[in-house]
Structure 1
Amino acid sequence: MQAPFVWFHHNGEKSNETKKFFETLLGWKPSDGPGGMTMLAGEGGPFAALASKTERYGDQSAWIPFVMVDDVDAATQQAISLGAVLLKEKSRGPAGYFSIVRDPGGAAIGLWKKA
């Protein structure tokens, strides 16, 4: 596999309710994260974040998986050339750079490179 999933972002609108839901259902441990996000951790450490009320990507409430790429700009341009729609231009996050695109089937995916 070229690029396995390396992170997950919950793009929902009700982060407080979602945080309580996953903490109770699956035992995921929430903590404050950058930009008002809530980080979720399991036994192996953090693996996902819940959107803040102001930092959502696109208009759908869903989990967005992130994959590691060698070059965010090149991967984003290739995705667009293959029919993807750009949801979030290349941005700097806490651990690297990322963009988010919606594939031709309608699902969002994050393209990420570690800083």
Structure 2
Amino acid sequence: MTGDLDAAQRFYSAVLGWEFRPDRVGDGSAVAFHHGTPVAGLSALSGRLGMPSAWTPYFAVDDADVTAARIRERGATMAVGPLAFGTGRAALAADPAGAVFGFWQGEVIPDWSVGRGTAPAWLELRTRDAFAAAIFYGEVLDWAGDRPGCCTVSYEQDHVVLRHGHDTVARISGGALEEDPDPLVRPRWHVHFRVPDLEEAMEAAARLGGRAASPVSTSSAGRSVALADSDGALFTVVAPRGSAG
């Protein structure tokens, strides 16, 4: 969600090399493509809904009303919807720890690539209790169900890992359960995008009104940094370890 769709398209075209096409859900929305593959959606809705600009993961569901009821039954919050929106129904919710997510009932763009193979994007939930979060999302979204095509959930090296087939779709990371909650660090879903060169992406973001929101970190997965776009929405870019400069 963004307050200025045109500015957001210019920003992400320069920083991530995306191209945009109008979305079938209606005016004020666009789908981002990376080398012809759909990556993400942008919608100029934040002002109308009174919400800040932000990246939010949306999970496909069979029945939005059933999903909303499950969320309420488990002490979580329904923030918006479900509402009719273009070719389907959409809703926004917050899990019991406060992390915001969306869900969608309806048509899904073919070949949407988040979490598949060498996809340019993946998801991570950072929260206090990863196990409790995995139970909540598993029950609400039918993870690890018996139906054909359901995702599998496993616990690996202090992370809960969600897979669809052989592809890692999302990770849930927990920690600091024994400490008092930090009011400045709230649980949230982090969206990660791959880039070939970290410094180049950071420089492009700065030119278009964005900024670095964290130090650069290095791990076995590569070098990464959190960025804020020109409207304040946070996201993370990840580059190969050998891409410095």
Instruction: State the TM-score, normalized to the length of structure 1.
Output: 0.72
- For structure 2, the residue ranges without an aligned partner over 5 or more in a row are 108-245
**1:59 aligned onto 2:54:** no
Contact 1:57 1:100 in 2 (8 A): no
Select between 46-55 and 84-93 the one with higher mean Cα deviation.
Answer: 46-55
How do 1:84-99 and structure 2 match up within 5 A?
Answer: 84-99=76-91
Distance 1:75 1:59, change over 3 A: same
- The one-character-per-residue Cα deviations of 1:46-69 (angstroms, maximum 9, x if unpaired) are 332222156765623211111112
Find the counterpart in structure 1 of residue 94 from structure 2: 102
Distance of 2:91 and 2:46 partners within structure 1:
17
- The code of the aligned residue for 2:97 comes to G
Find the counterpart in structure 1 of residue 3 from structure 2: 13
- The code of the aligned residue for 1:85 comes to T
Looking at both structures, which has the greater relative contact order when contacts are Cα pairs under 8 Å and sequence separation is at least 6? 1
Distance 1:84 1:57, change over 3 A: farther
- For structure 1, the residue ranges without an aligned partner over 5 or more in a row are 1-10
Find the counterpart in structure 2 of residue 111 from structure 1: 103
Cα displacement (A) at 1:73: 0.5
How do 1:33-52 and structure 2 match up within 5 A?
Answer: 33=23, 34-52=26-44
Question: Percent of aligned pairs with the same residue?
Answer: 27
- The code of the aligned residue for 1:67 comes to F
Cα displacement (A) at 1:91: 2.0
Contact 1:92 1:98 in 2 (8 A): yes
Q: Which has the larger radius of gyration?
A: 2
Paired residues, number:
105
Instruction: State the TM-score, normalized to the length of structure 2.
Output: 0.38
Find the counterpart in structure 2 of residue 22 from structure 1: 12
Cα displacement (A) at 1:106: 2.4
Distance of 1:84 and 1:12 partners within structure 2:
25
More strand by share: 1
Computed over aligned residues only, the root mean square deviation of the Cα atoms, in angstroms, reads 2.4
**1:83 aligned counterpart, secondary structure:** coil
Cα displacement (A) at 1:97: 2.1
Cα displacement (A) at 1:14: 3.1
Distance of 2:90 and 2:53 partners within structure 1:
19
